[in-house]
């Protein structure tokens, strides 16, 4: 998480709060930039008012707030700090995040999901799950808000009903079952019961998943040969594709873990 701050009158007013938040939320990086000296960066992010605070994850903008309102700023910090601490930062893989916060829900769907147990139920841990309807097969299509690099997956489920054969396609858009069956995937997974237990991580061929805008999972069958497939939890682990932002123009307000500068 990163912020932009400009040295106008309102900026100077909110500056002490900004510095306080940098210490209060040590997992985030708080940075500031001088709009007069760094006009390219200001133009890149279309800054039209000061102060403007940008929220970045791996160099990509994910949110923005304008104005010198300390409460609104802290509320926004809490929103993304929570994602980083509870969702985005707890992938279980060092150096990578759970990409849940970057999923574009309006372009995400699941074919053959049951009416009572849908895709949204398995994207967070909460006791609910995704279940197939007419047979054991599922097609899960997920789009991201920005291009990502996929490192690995988590696919948890009960031993008898959890996915077994999973064909993974990237940047294909929506596939039907016939195309998914015949198509050449980016990678095919043959899962075992050890792969689907809680917190198990399924590595991908990372070199093949370097610039992913969307990913489609075709779940062909399940471990027990049952008529219904169940997914208790599905997680995509990776990072966003680094943008061309010149981070040298940003001045650190506080270091990690709240170290002052």
Domain boundaries, the chain: 9-82, 97-240
Between CA 50 and CA 63 the distance in angstroms is 16
The pair of three-digit structure tokens given for residue 63, joined into one six-digit string: 């949110």
Averaged pLDDT for residues 66-95: 73
pLDDT band at 259 (very low <50, low <70, confident <90, very high): very low
Rounded to whole angstroms, what are the CA distances from 131 to 9, 140, 156, 227? Answer: 56, 12, 12, 11
Provide, rounded to the nearest whole percent, the portion of the chain with pLDDT above 90.
49
pLDDT at residue 22 is higher than 90: no
Q: Residue 204: name the closest of 115, 99, 127 by CA.
A: 99
Query: For this structure, is 38 an active site residue?
Result: no
What number of other Cβ atoms are within 10 A of residue 27's Cβ? 12
Query: For this structure, is 134 an active site residue?
Result: no
The pair of three-digit structure tokens given for residue 255, joined into one six-digit string: 């270091």
Between CA 4 and CA 233 the distance in angstroms is 36
Q: What residue has token string 């209060």?
A: 24
Report the range of poorest mean pLDDT among 16-20, 32-36, 80-84, 123-127. Answer: 80-84
Give the CB-side neighbour count of residue 91, counting CA atoms within 13 A: 24
Domain 9-82 annotated CATH 1.10.260.40: no
Between CA 259 and CA 249 the distance in angstroms is 20
DSSP three-state, residue 230: strand
The predicted-structure confidence for 9-18, as pLDDT tens digits, reads as follows 888 889 889 8
Cis ω for the linkage preceding 110 (within 30 of 0): no
Beta pairing partners, 233 = 156
The pLDDT of residue 223 is 97
pLDDT at residue 140 is higher than 80: yes
pLDDT at residue 48 is higher than 50: yes
The pLDDT of residue 215 is 97
Between CA 185 and CA 179 the distance in angstroms is 10
CATH code assigned to 97-240? 2.60.120.470
pLDDT at residue 138 is higher than 90: yes
Q: Which of 11, 38, 110, 122 is catalytic?
A: 11
């Amino acid at each position: 998480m990163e912020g932009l701050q400009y040295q106008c009158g309102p900026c100077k007013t909110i500056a002490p709060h900004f510095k306080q938040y940098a210490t209060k939320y040590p997992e985030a990086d708080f940075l500031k930039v001088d709009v007069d000296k760094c006009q390219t960066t200001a133009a890149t992010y279309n800054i039209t008012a000061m102060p403007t605070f940008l929220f970045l994850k791996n160099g990509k903008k994910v949110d923005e707030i304008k104005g010198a309102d300390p409460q609104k700023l802290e509320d926004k910090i809490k929103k993304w700090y929570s994602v980083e601490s509870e969702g985005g930062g707890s992938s279980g893989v060092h150096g990578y995040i759970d990409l849940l916060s970057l999923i574009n829900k309006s372009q995400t769907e699941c074919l053959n999901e049951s009416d009572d147990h849908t895709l949204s139920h398995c994207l967070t841990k909460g006791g609910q799950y995704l279940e197939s309807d007419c047979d054991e097969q599922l097609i899960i299509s997920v789009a991201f808000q920005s291009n990502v690099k996929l490192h690995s997956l988590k696919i948890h489920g009960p031993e008898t009903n959890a996915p077994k054969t999973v064909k993974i396609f990237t940047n294909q858009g929506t596939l039907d079952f016939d195309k998914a069956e015949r198509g050449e995937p980016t990678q095919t997974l043959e899962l075992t019961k050890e792969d689907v237990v809680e917190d198990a991580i399924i590595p991908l061929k990372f070199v093949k998943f370097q610039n992913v805008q969307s990913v489609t999972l075709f779940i062909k069958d399940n471990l027990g040969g049952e008529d219904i497939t169940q997914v208790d939890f599905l997680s995509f682990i990776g990072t966003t594709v680094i943008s061309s932002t010149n981070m040298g123009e940003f001045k650190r307000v506080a270091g990690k873990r709240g170290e002052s500068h």
